[in-house]
A and B are shown apart, each in its own frame.
Chain A
Amino acid sequence: MKTHAIKFLKYLAAAVLFAPALAMASTAMHLDKAPVSTDQQKLQHGAKLFVNYCLNCHSASLMRYNQLQKIGFDKETIEKDLIFTGGNAGSMMTIGMTPDDGKAWFGTAPPDLSLMARAKASEFGSGADYLYTYLRSFYRDKNRPTGWNNKVFANVGMPHALWDLQGEQAARETVDEHGAKTVELVAPTVPGNMSAQDFDEAVADIVSFLVWMGEPVAESRKFIGIFVLIFLVGYYVLTHKLGKTYWKNIH
């Protein structure tokens, strides 16, 4: 009689497992896979790029500078090389620009980036994939007030903050018979300070840092989890054996 119950479970399982496969079929936005790293050197490089290029307009106001010690910085380095806004290592990674100023200057206040890597996940890819693709997809567009547009975020308010590193990409727009517009990026016409490969690596490091910042505890969480699960599996064996002794004499 158990078979009925199991049959129902199978129905349920099929419905649940089938569902994501169906969802994937309708992919519309293509995102490059971000080479996210937890290597401290890369995270530190990402952190330096982040404070230099992002932390002028975007805050990371949920992050305290001294937490950067967890990716291998010491306090002196943090206070000397990473803090440009005044304050000490106990301060939050805030910016001088207020949200109202931001709104006046860019149309939308630049969002806080503390959680951006978690927020940007979608059915098309992880938040890291989105950010990795987004930061590499700016192109020159004279029709935009900032002079920049973006392939994955059309008509974005943000200018290309990393343009001196990447150089200036252009875009070729094609319109198919249904009137759908596709944008194709063209290799930088004005070269930047970095080779294409170095730039991709730099962006990957920034993205890795953003992922780390989204949940600084992530690595230790997984580490603790291994021990918890090993314990629980062992504990199950123990309780299962104990439980059986109570049923030995029931017929």
Chain B
Amino acid sequence: MSDQKKDCDCDRRGLLLATTVAGGAAVAAAAVPFVASLAPSERAKAIGAPVVADISKLAPGEKMVVKWRGKPVWILRRTPEMLASLETVKEKLSDPDSEKSSQPDYTKNPTRAVNKEYLVAVGICTHLGCSPSDKFKTGSDEGMATDWAGGFLCPCHGSIFDLAGRVFKGQPAPTNLEIPPHVYDDPANPAMVTIGIDSTDSKGA
């Protein structure tokens, strides 16, 4: 056998290479629809379409939750005291200026908001995906430390966040809570907020 192989090796080698490369390319191309089928379907995309939330009835200090792409999105109307606490806790935060965190550029500011009164954040801990609980009251009222200024506590692994969704130092969560793209019909007089789009130009389903 080895003798026979030697005889035709020269013309075979090129063909074998071409066949292998083309065959490999074909298999890779055929794999595309299979891998694509794992991606969100049209149904999932339609369900993940932007949602509109009516925030006109939200009282100061209250939080509402809307579902966007299957995830809870919090809308918290912050009181002046709550906003003030954002400055006082700054020292203890791991990423106070949200440098490493995920948010649209227009919310990369001290209150992490378009309209500083309203925090719109994805209520999913950046550690392992649990949804943190509200711990809005200050001090030990909520069973937190005595210097607690209000925020969120993740029940799974104990990460704590301030009222702008910023994570405290030494917590398992690596980054601040994600801020979804969102836009107000009229930022001066907020009544409706659309979550999932960046500007009213791209408004639609």
Contact = CB atoms under 8 A, between A and B. Distances in A.
Q: Do chains A and B touch in the complex (CB under 8 A)?
A: yes
Interface of A: 64, 66-67, 75-76, 79, 88-91, 231, 234-235, 238-239, 241-242, 245-246, 248-250
B204 A67 contact: no
B49 A238 contact: no
B35 to A, nearest CB: 16
Interface stretch (B19-27, B115-123, B134-142, B156-164): B19-27
Given A66-B46, A241-B15, A235 B204 contact: no
B121 to A, nearest CB: 24
Interface of B: 4, 7-8, 11-12, 15-16, 18-19, 22-23, 26, 42-43, 45-47, 49, 204-205
Contacts of B18: 238, 242
A245 B15 contact: yes
Nearest to B3: A249
A249 B11 CA distance: 13
Contacts of B47: 90
Given A64-B46, A245-B15, A249-B4, A75 B205 contact: yes
A241 B12 CA distance: 9
A75 B202 CA distance: 10
Contacts of A88: 49, 204-205
Given A241-B15, A242-B15, A79 B205 contact: yes
Contacts of B7: 248-249
B42 A64 contact: yes
Contacts of B49: 88, 90
26 contacts: A64-B43, A66-B42, A66-B205, A75-B205, A89-B204, A89-B205, A90-B46, A90-B49, A90-B205, A231-B22, A231-B26, A235-B19, A235-B23, A238-B18, A238-B19, A238-B22, A241-B15, A242-B15, A242-B18, A245-B8, A245-B11, A245-B12, A246-B8, A246-B12, A249-B4, A249-B8
A180 B16 CA distance: 69
Contacts of A64: 42-43, 46
Given A88-B205, A241-B15, A235 B42 contact: no
A75 B50 CA distance: 14
Among A66, A90, A231, A238, chain B packs the most CB atoms within 10 A around the CB of A90
A67 B45 CA distance: 12
A235 B46 CA distance: 40
B205 A235 contact: no
A75 B18 CA distance: 46
Given A67-B42, A88-B49, A242 B19 contact: yes
A79 B15 contact: no
B8 A248 contact: yes
A242 B12 contact: yes
Contacts of B16: 242
Given A64-B46, A75-B205, A242-B15, 13 more contacts: A75-B204, A79-B204, A88-B49, A88-B204, A89-B204, A89-B205, A90-B46, A90-B49, A235-B19, A235-B26, A238-B18, A246-B8, A249-B7
A79 B49 CA distance: 14
Contacts of A238: 15, 18-19, 22
B3 to A, nearest CB: 9
Contacts of B26: 231, 235
Contacts of A245: 8, 11-12, 15
Nearest to B42: A64
Nearest to A231: B26
Contacts of B45: 90
A111 to B, nearest CB: 22
Contacts of B15: 238, 241-242, 245
